[in-house]
Structure 1
C-alpha cells in the first residue's frame, strides 16, 4: 500500500460518541508507534501482522483507562505463536502522551504460510488493568475465538463485560517513494453504552459458544446496533489508515445521521519502562549461588528486554539479596 504525507493524526486516538444511537467509540491511527514496536525484532511476516493488530487493539481499548493506569492485552496459545503481550501506559499527566509496547514469542520452525490468525492455536485472550500500588489488579479472560484478534476482543467484551462491541481494523506495510517501508495501522472501535441491567438472557450465538454482540441487544437497541454496523461495513482500508481522510471527516462521512460528538484526542508514543533498577529488583529474589549460575563466561549477569531490546550487563556481586550492596 502507498500513502502520502504523514498526518498530524498519526499516533493518536480520537474518542467520540454517537448521541442518536447511544454508542461510544474511538478512531486510532498508528505509524511511528508500530515502527518503534516492530523494529526491535525480526519477526516473520505473520507474526508482525499479529503484533500490529494487537498494538492497534491496545491503543483503541487503552484510551479509556485513567492517568497512570496500565492496561495489558495478552494472548497465549499452543500454536506456532505462543504469546503476544502488549502494554498501554496511561499518561502521567493530562495532555501528555500515552505509551505502548509489545512483543511476541513464537516457534520459528512452526510458522507457516497460512494467514496470521491461523498461527495461533487453542488458548486465551486476556485483558488486565493495573490501577497502581495498593489496588487489586483486574483481569478478564476468554478463549481465543473467531478469525482475528479483533474477534477475540469483541468476544471478550460480550462475554466478560456484557458490552456489545465491534471493531474495524486495517494494517499493513506502507511503501512511499524515497521512504523506507514501514507499518501503518488504523481502526475504529464501537461500543454500546452500558445498560442498567446488562446481563444477557438469550442464547449465546458466538464462536465457541461465547456470547456475541448481537446477543446483548434487542428492540430499539438492536435496530441502532444493526444500522451503525451497516455504516461501519462501508469503510475502506484507505479511510482507516489515511492519509487523505482525517478521522473527524471519517466520522462525519460514516455517522452524520447519528449525531457524532468528538472529544480531545490522545497522543500515543512507543515507550518501554525497563531500566537497570528494574532488572536489579527482579534479581533481588536470588541468592549468590543462583546468581553464580546466571553469570556468563565473561563474568557478567546479562538481561535483555523483550519489549524494546535493551541489553543490560551487571556485576554479579552487585545483584541478588546477598549482594555486596546489601552488606
Structure 2
C-alpha cells in the first residue's frame, strides 16, 4: 500500500453490512482529528486514553444521525475524572465532512496515574444526547457507568435504550511513522449491531441482565440470532491493535480479513475533521442574561471579561461595557 493509499483512510468512518448474519456496522479511523483533540490539552495519559475512547465512540455512533443533527456523549463521574464531553456535528450537506470535538474535566490532585483509566470515574453515568435542530426537543438516554470501559457502557446503553445488540472494539495509541518528527495519536474502532427485520422485535429473556441489573446483548436475541452474534463476535475478537489503529491496514481490507465469509458490503465513507463551534458571538450571547452588576463581578483586574473554550482552547477578551443585557452596543 502506498503512502497516498494510507492517508486516504485517515479520519474516515466506513459503514458496512454483513449480509449473511444481518449485521451492520462501522469502521472508524481518527488520526489528525484525534491528534488535534488531544493536543489542545496536556492531558495525563490515563485521561487522554479515556478522551480517545470517547471520541472513537462518538464517531462510530454519530455517523448514523441525519444531516445537520448533533450527537453528544456526556460521561460524568464522582472520582478524579469528573467529566468527558464530546460532540459530533453531522455534515451540513452530502459530501461534506462531519466534525468532532471533545474535552475532559478532572481533579489533578486526586488523579492516580497508575490506575486503570476507567476506574478514575468512580460512580457515574454515561449519556447520549441527540439534538435534531431548532424547534425539536433533544433526545437523551443514560445508563450507569459499568462494565470496565466506555465501550461497555455504550453497549449497555444500546441494550437498554434501543434494544439493539451492539459490540465495540476500540483502540488508540501514539505512533510515529517514517518522516514524522514526533509520535502522533491514532485511533481506530469497529462497531457491530444486529438489526432485526422490519416489523420484528428482538427477543428478551425473562431473567435477562447481569449483576448490575442491566440488559446485555445476549438478552435481546433468540437462538438463531445468538448463533450469528457469537460467530461474528468471535471473528471480531481476532482483530489486533495495529489493524484497528492503522494505518497500514485499510478499513475495507480489515473487513475482508475479519468477515470475508459473512459477505461484507461497504457503503460510501464519511470523512471527519476536528471542529469547534465556539465564537465571540456565542460568548456574548451566553453573557446576555447578566446585569451590569453581575458582569462587574466577572471583570478581571485588567478591566476585561474573559472566556476560554474547553474544547479548542480559544481565548476571548471582551469589554465589560459591551456584554450583558444592560450593555451599550455603541461601545462594541
Range moving further from structure 2, 139-148 or 247-256: 247-256
- Summarize the alignment of residues 300-319 of structure 1 with structure 2, pairs less than 5 Å apart: 300-319=304-323
SS at 2:254's partner residue? helix
SS at 2:122's partner residue? coil
- The answer to whether residue 270 in structure 2 is matched with residue 266 in structure 1 is yes
- Summarize the alignment of residues 125-204 of structure 1 with structure 2, pairs less than 5 Å apart: 125-179=126-180, 180-194=182-196, 196-198=200-202, 200-204=204-208
SS at 2:283's partner residue? helix
Other-structure match for 2:109: 109
SS at 1:64's partner residue? coil
Instruction: State whether residues 86 and 100 of structure 1, in contact with CA within 8 Å, keep that contact through their aligned partners in structure 2.
Output: yes
Instruction: State whether residues 166 and 190 of structure 1, in contact with CA within 8 Å, keep that contact through their aligned partners in structure 2.
Output: yes
SS at 1:264's partner residue? coil
TM-score, normalising length from structure 2? 0.95
- The answer to whether residue 287 in structure 2 is matched with residue 283 in structure 1 is yes
Instruction: State whether residues 203 and 219 of structure 2, in contact with CA within 8 Å, keep that contact through their aligned partners in structure 1.
Output: no
> Which digits, 9 at most, give the CA deviation of each residue in 1:124-165, with x for residues without a partner?
000000000001100000000111110010010011111000
Instruction: State whether residues 67 and 93 of structure 2, in contact with CA within 8 Å, keep that contact through their aligned partners in structure 1.
Output: yes
SS at 2:301's partner residue? coil
> Which digits, 9 at most, give the CA deviation of each residue in 1:287-308, with x for residues without a partner?
1100010000111000000000
Question: Displacement of 1:7 after TM fit?
Answer: 2.4
Other-structure match for 2:26: 26
Question: Displacement of 1:326 after TM fit?
Answer: 8.7
Question: Displacement of 1:267 after TM fit?
Answer: 0.3
Instruction: State whether residues 6 and 248 of structure 2, in contact with CA within 8 Å, keep that contact through their aligned partners in structure 1.
Output: no
CA RMSD of aligned residues (A): 1.7
Question: Displacement of 1:260 after TM fit?
Answer: 1.0
Unaligned runs of 5+ in 1: none
Kindly tell me the number of residue pairs found equivalent between the two proteins.
325
Deviation >4 Å, runs of 4+: 3-6
SS at 1:55's partner residue? helix
Other-structure match for 1:42: 42
Other-structure match for 1:81: 81
Other-structure match for 2:71: 71
Q: In the aligned structure 2, how far is the partner of 1:18 from the partner of 1:176?
A: 32
Question: Displacement of 1:193 after TM fit?
Answer: 0.5
Q: In the aligned structure 2, how far is the partner of 1:22 from the partner of 1:80?
A: 41
Question: Displacement of 1:258 after TM fit?
Answer: 1.1
- The answer to whether residue 94 in structure 2 is matched with residue 90 in structure 1 is no
Instruction: State whether residues 4 and 243 of structure 1, in contact with CA within 8 Å, keep that contact through their aligned partners in structure 2.
Output: no
SS at 1:154's partner residue? helix
Residues 262/312 of structure 1: CA separation in 2 closer, same or farther (3 Å cut): same
SS at 2:186's partner residue? strand
Question: Displacement of 1:5 after TM fit?
Answer: 8.6
Residues 118/255 of structure 1: CA separation in 2 closer, same or farther (3 Å cut): same
Question: Displacement of 1:276 after TM fit?
Answer: 0.4
Residues 315/199 of structure 1: CA separation in 2 closer, same or farther (3 Å cut): farther
Unaligned runs of 5+ in 2: none
Residues 285/72 of structure 1: CA separation in 2 closer, same or farther (3 Å cut): same
Residues 192/19 of structure 1: CA separation in 2 closer, same or farther (3 Å cut): same
Instruction: State whether residues 202 and 221 of structure 2, in contact with CA within 8 Å, keep that contact through their aligned partners in structure 1.
Output: no
